[in-house]
Structure 1
Amino acid sequence: MSSWKKVSKTNQRTHRERHQPESRSHLGLLEKKKDYRLRAKDHDEKQRTLRLLKRRALNRNPDEFYFHMINSKVEDGEHKELEKDDEHTPDQIRLMQSQDLKYVSTKRIMETRKIERLQSHLHLLDAANEVKNKHIFFVDTEKEAKQFDLCKQLDTHPSLLKRRINRPRNIALKNMSFPEVEEAVIEKLTAERDKKYMELQKRIERERELTVIQQKLEMKRHLLNKKERTPKRIKPSTKDAPPIYKWDYERKR
């Protein structure tokens, strides 16, 4: 019986779908049956949801009341939930926000230390070479300006002119002995370096986001102080900056 199963499996024919003709390659990939099934399933689910919402809208009572009508509002075109004053006391809210602030501050300090550690390993030599700066040479006559040779002036090889750092002179190049390194090793080291630079960029962005969150939490903590007058909001908060408030000047005794 087992041998019959093996024979039947070996005799099975593999059905393959045709590829996209060359004359229609500009239209993109040819949709296969599995892609069509996923698209059709998604379309049916959306149509089913629309029919359900339409039925609910038709059966809705215009005099119906629900508490979310009074627990939310639209401010500056953005839907916001109203805070419930009876859910937590002011001391509890202040304590929770202080804990959140400490947590965000700790995470930001950790990211800052990781950034400093990565920068110490990478040295940012490639970024230094990409910095656009000017090196001005002064000559006495126009003839000297036309015959000016930059390689001779800097005493280096022409392939090293674009480097801003570690530009050895010709005498040092003659005395140098370069080890033989395989291209595979160079490619591996280059990929690891690019990976480190990508990690550094992501950590810098995360540290910037945590700084903005920390500033927003600090602003909320200042606004909870009921002893001071309500400040005037100069600028609302954005995803890149906290809100800006202006407090009235009060002379302290």
Structure 2
Amino acid sequence: MSVWKKAAKAHQKTHKERHQPEDRQHLGLLEKKKDYQRRAKDYNEKKATLKLLRKRALNKNPDEFYHHMINSKIEDGRHFEKDTEPEDTADQNQLMRTQDLKYIVTKRTQELKKIEKLQAELHLTSVDVLKKNKHIYYDKEVKKQAEERTLQHLMEQELPDVDENTLAESAKKRKALYRELSKRIERERELAIVQQKMETAKAIENKKSVLKPKRVKKGTKDQAPIYVWKYERKK
């Protein structure tokens, strides 16, 4: 029967709602039925939410403790979440989003080689200029006398004149090498952290692993998150 009613109303005239008269234009737009429905729906939803919150407040146990008490705060009557340290920095997010694991491993290997090369250069700059005595003495008395003569000869020998400009340039070069070494060590540490995070994410997303891991420690910008998998017996 309802089908026939709908069919009969299909050809009825659609009545349009009137617009705001010209003498009432100063009152603003005339509210239509759809505007009233939207406003009434919003009002009823807020009313139901306030009723539910009031009920929860009445049933709340004042002696109950939950962790959100220490993870939030109230300032000037407004509720705020405490600032938590993000797991990834902006550079780490960009690397993990735009590059793959092989690229990170390759760049980290290059940085390690450059660090070793810089460390070798810095060791060479601190080599002693004086030649060491390579004679071998088997008799203790003769060895002792030779050492005394060598020491006396070094004390009597005059030190060579060194140009102050040469010393300044050498110190400047050594300082620049140390600065570059520090930057490369920091870059290698960042790449190592990104590599650990990507390897952890890849292990979690592995579909072959049926057992889901459990996160033991949340990750930070200086450390990847720690997960523990349940023991799986090998066949």
TM-score relative to the length of structure 1: 0.43
Higher CA-based Rg: 2
Structure number with the bigger relative contact order (C-alpha 8 A, sep ≥ 6) is: 2
